[in-house]
Structure 1
Amino acid sequence: MSIFIVRLEHPDEAGWQEWVGPHVEWVREHVAAGTIIASGPSVGTDIRQGWLVMRAVDEPELRQYLASDPFWQHGIVENLLIVEWDPIFGELDRLSSSPGGVPSFGE
């Protein structure tokens, strides 16, 4: 299972207001299922942004999860950023490929 960091920008304030309730329910469902590890907004940015730390087999599966988000379904996401991430140190190291160790880059 891979870990991904996802950024969703929401420049459409009216659309965000309309769909935030269903989006929050979507987040809660994915937290309960273990797909979303953490979620929350950026603070102090010019454009509203949400960040997700998610678990998926691969990026295509992750994109399937994102496609079920009401924000995505109603076009309230711009500038999607997806980065696969390996949390080697810290509170999420149990999810790492090499917890607390030295990563084997390029292998």
Structure 2
Amino acid sequence: MPLFAVQFTYAPDKSAQRDDHRTDHRAWLADLERRGTVHSYGPFADGSGALMVAEASNLDEARSFFDQDPFAKADLLEQVTIREWIPVFGAFSK
């Protein structure tokens, strides 16, 4: 199944609201990880956003997963970029 690199850019003026939704956001991610959809996730060190590697059958399915993110539902993301990724070497290569 294809892998997708998903990059979130946080809305900088909504930091406090992210704190209010962080527990639900992480529970949502943990559920996707348990189901094998999200393989890795983490915020950028500068606090500007986050990156994840996710599995989906196509781009539309990947978008539908991330539309359900509590951060997205609460309009806390400035931008979400989802691109199919083809790893050649390393942990995610086949």
Q: CA deviation at 1:18?
A: 0.9
After the TM superposition, which parts of structure 1 deviate over 6 Å for at least 4 consecutive aligned residues? none
Relative CO higher for 1 or 2, CA cutoff 8 Å, sep ≥ 6? 2
Q: CA offsets per residue over residues 28-70 of structure 1, 9 Å max, x none?
A: 00000000010001113xx520111000000110111011110
- Give, in whole Å, the separation in 2 of the partners of 1:87 and 1:56: 15
2:24 corresponds to which residue?
22
CA RMSD after TM alignment: 1.1
The one-letter amino acid paired with 2:42 is G
Instruction: Count the aligned residue pairs.
Output: 92
Q: CA offsets per residue over residues 12-36 of structure 1, 9 Å max, x none?
A: 1011111111000000000000000
Q: Report sequence identity in percent.
A: 27
Asked if the contact 2:63/2:82 (under 8 Å) is kept, the reply is no
Q: Map 1:2-81; keep pairs closer than 5 Å.
A: 2-10=2-10, 11=12, 12-44=14-46, 48-81=48-81
Unpaired runs of 5+ residues, structure 1, are 95-107
The one-letter amino acid paired with 2:20 is E
Give the SS at the match of 2:91: coil
Q: CA deviation at 1:79?
A: 1.6
Asked if the contact 2:44/2:51 (under 8 Å) is kept, the reply is yes
1:92 corresponds to which residue?
92
- Tell which structure's C-alpha radius of gyration is larger: 1
